[in-house]
Amino acid sequence: MTIRNPELLNAVARQYGTPVWLYDAAVIRERVAQLRAFDVIRFAQKACSNIHILRLMREQGVVVDAVSLGEIERALAAGFSGRGDEPSGIVLTADLLDQATLARVVEEQIPVNAGSIDMLRQLGTASPGHRVWLRINPGFGHGHSNKTNTGGENSKHGIWHEQLPDALQVIREHGLTLVGLHMHIGSGVDYGHLQQVCGAMVELVAGMGHDLEAISAGGGLSIPYRDGEARIDTAHYFGLWDAARKEIEARLGHPVRLEIEPGRFLVAESGTLLAEVRAVKDMGSRHFVLVDAGFNDLMRPSMYGSYHGISLVAQGRPQPAGDALLPTVVAGPLCESGDVFTQEDGGVVVTRDLPPCQVGDYLLFHDTGAYGASMSSNYNSRPLLPEVLIDGDAVRLIRRRQTMAELLALEAV
């Protein structure tokens, strides 16, 4: 929520047009610093996979998680490597390996965090000795929405905890090298579940009869999207995992590396979506403000009923102060009723109290650095938006707006 300077916002909007994504590098650096206690910070780049953001992470000593061939290519382009000393490189986390991705991880010797035993077999056959993690589904999960709960029997993710011995058998048969165990039970994990995951990790390692180098705490650290929401206590978070790690070390008799794999925590608060108000209308009892960004750009409200703070940057008049706030529905341009930024899970349209908006004003959607641009689509044939990185006084375009010609290019067959 830091990019609030109206002059800066106006300059960016004038130069690059609207809608536009903005990121504040200082916020990312601050969040990285808060997790330094962990041996390895591995950025879950699905949250924000722009190569320049990945480079910024690399400059901070943060390594990277990839979940697809495309994310591997982005990480390589940003200067990460698969080969060599593993903590400095890329890990691919997935539940399956398509042929092209399998070929690339073998070529680049990228360690694989396996979410299925079939993956292990395929990798073991193609690349004996390959370094692997096991992503374990401990039988329970938790998320800010059912769609972001990645544990338990309704989730497709990970190797079921009771099948760990089978996975280890495949590892031995194929001469794979086990790096460690990994658990990510969802996004928005609370302390209660965290303690449960730490306990499950200790128990699994105790019973597995196989050595390992590392454990991964996964990601899932929440951020305060609403004013007044508590901020996660990273020291406490680390403390719980560190205690689990120490129990594991005592059992194994050697040091064990502790990794963490956040996406949202590192980037969400750095990001703002700036959109322009293009229509204001009343519909029965509802007051609508329509902006030029849609759910093809910022999908989270439509997908999960997620809340993002919204604020006004008035244009051509002083910032409204002391005006009565209007209960407002904020919506986009898409030809679909669900294209509403103020809604709750299940598509229930709600209002947000905003100052009166006029056509030409800007609205800011806050905390959109994670799962904002990276979840955008071309729905309604709308081009992808530009991304701008603000680093102190420097304002840098890190992705230009997709052109109409690019939008049509793939169909020129």
What are the residue numbers of the active site?
335
Residue with Cβ nearer ligand LLP (178 or 289): 178
Cis peptide before 383 (omega within 30 of 0): no
Residue 358 Cα to chain centre, angstroms: 33
> Is 406 annotated as belonging to a binding site?
no
The region of 32-40, 204-212, 261-269, 361-369 touching ligand LLP under the rule CB under 6 A is 261-269
**Single-letter amino acid, residue 251:** R
> Is 294 annotated as belonging to a binding site?
no
- Structure token pair of residue 114: 């396996």
The region of 97-105, 215-223, 339-347, 360-368 touching ligand LLP under the rule CB under 6 A is 215-223
* By the rule CB under 6 A, 187 interacts with ligand LLP: yes
What values do phi and psi take at 302, rounded to 5?
-70, -35
* By the rule CB under 6 A, 93 interacts with ligand LLP: yes
Distance in Å, CB of 269 to ligand LLP, minimum: 12
* By the rule CB under 6 A, 220 interacts with ligand LLP: yes
Give the Cα separation of 144 and 85 in Å (integer): 35
The candidate with the shortest Cα–Cα distance to 261, out of 184, 372, 200, 195, is 184
Among 31, 245, 300, 399, binds ligand LLP (CB under 6 A): 300
Give the Cα separation of 91 and 113 in Å (integer): 7
* By the rule CB under 6 A, 41 interacts with ligand LLP: no
* By the rule CB under 6 A, 221 interacts with ligand LLP: yes
CB 21 within 8 A of CB 270: no
CB 66 within 8 A of CB 74: yes
Residue with Cβ nearer ligand LLP (71 or 361): 71
Distance in Å, CB of 299 to ligand LLP, minimum: 8
Helix (H) or strand (E) holding 112, with range, is strand 112-114
Among 89, 219, 301, 386, binds ligand LLP (CB under 6 A): 219
> Is 71 annotated as belonging to a binding site?
no
What values do phi and psi take at 44, rounded to 5?
-80, 95
Distance in Å, CB of 345 to ligand LLP, minimum: 12
Among 71, 247, 261, 276, binds ligand LLP (CB under 6 A): 261
283 forms bridges with which residues in the sheet? 286
- Structure token pair of residue 32: 């990285």
How many contiguous H segments (helices) and E segments (strands) does the chain have? 12, 20
CB 164 within 8 A of CB 208: yes
CB 205 within 8 A of CB 212: yes
Residue with Cβ nearer ligand LLP (305 or 320): 305
* By the rule CB under 6 A, 382 interacts with ligand LLP: no
Give the Cα separation of 235 and 37 in Å (integer): 8
Residue with Cβ nearer ligand LLP (200 or 370): 370
Among 9, 13, 44, 200, binds ligand LLP (CB under 6 A): 44
* By the rule CB under 6 A, 308 interacts with ligand LLP: no
* By the rule CB under 6 A, 47 interacts with ligand LLP: yes
> Is 263 annotated as belonging to a binding site?
yes
Residue with Cβ nearer ligand LLP (173 or 229): 229
Cα three-residue angle 99-102-104, rounded to 5 degrees:
110
* By the rule CB under 6 A, 148 interacts with ligand LLP: yes
Size of the site for ligand LLP (CB under 6 A): 19
DSSP 254: S
329 forms bridges with which residues in the sheet? 288
> Is 104 annotated as belonging to a binding site?
no
Residue with Cβ nearer ligand LLP (92 or 354): 92
233 C-beta neighbours (distance < 10 Å), count:
11
> Is 387 annotated as belonging to a binding site?
no
The annotation places the binding site at 220, 261-264, 300, 304, 336, 371
Chain residues binding ligand LLP by CB under 6 A are 44, 47, 93, 148, 150, 184, 187, 218-221, 261-265, 300, 370-371
The annotation places the binding site for pyridoxal 5'-phosphate at 220, 261-264, 371
